[in-house]
Every structure is written in C-alpha cells, then in structure tokens.
Amino acid sequence: MVVTVTNPLFLGMFYLTIPNASLFLRTLNDGSKQIKSVIRRSKFKEMLLTDLLAKTSKKTKQLGNVYYVLDLVGTESVRLVATTTGPIIRYVDDD
C-alpha cells in the first residue's frame, strides 16, 4: 500500500493505492454484470437463489456466485424476497 501527497496546496488530501486493485475491481464488475444479465433474462426478472447459485460461468468462477449476489444485494441492484420455496432474487429496475 502506497500513500502519496496529491498536491502541496491540498495538505489534507492523499491518494491511497492498493496493488492489483484494478484486477479485483474488473473481476467484480464483470461477474456482477453476468449475474444481473442472468436474472434479467429469466422469466419475470426473478429467480430462485438456489438455482442462481448452482449456475456457473467463466466470469463468476473466480470469486463465486455468493460473493456477486451479496455485492448486488448491497448495492441494491437486486432484492431478496423470502418465499415458501426459498429465497427469490428479483432484479430492481433503474427507473
């Protein structure tokens, strides 16, 4: 981790750099897009969580589907709905 001063005029500002962070962020964005597209293409834009977690692809193998689902729930791109058959993950439109 490297901390650098941005500009002597802004004494309180620093850049915090983390090595290989771009690789992680690219992997996270690609996997999240893949999971979102799977949910969007499903009927009624919703899917059983167990069915979604069972699916794998090249883009979601590195971190695992659970990680991407938790990221999407945290960013409020999808919503988890409890049902009698199990939790359903539902895509939230960006209106």
Helices (runs of H) and strands (runs of E) counted in the chain: 3, 5
pLDDT-derived band at 59 (thresholds 50, 70, 90) equals: confident
Q: What is the mean pLDDT of residues 30-37?
A: 91
Tell me the CA distances in angstroms from 54 to 50, 57, 61, 64, one per residue in order.
Answer: 6, 10, 11, 10
Q: Which of 35, 28, 72 is nearest to 52 (CA)?
A: 35
pLDDT tens sequence across 62-94: 888 899 999 999 999 999 999 999 999 999 986
Rounded distance between C-alpha atoms, residue 49 and residue 68, angstroms = 12
- Residue 26 one-letter amino acid: R
pTM for the structure as a whole: 0.75
Q: Look at residue 55 in the predicted model and tell me its pLDDT.
A: 85
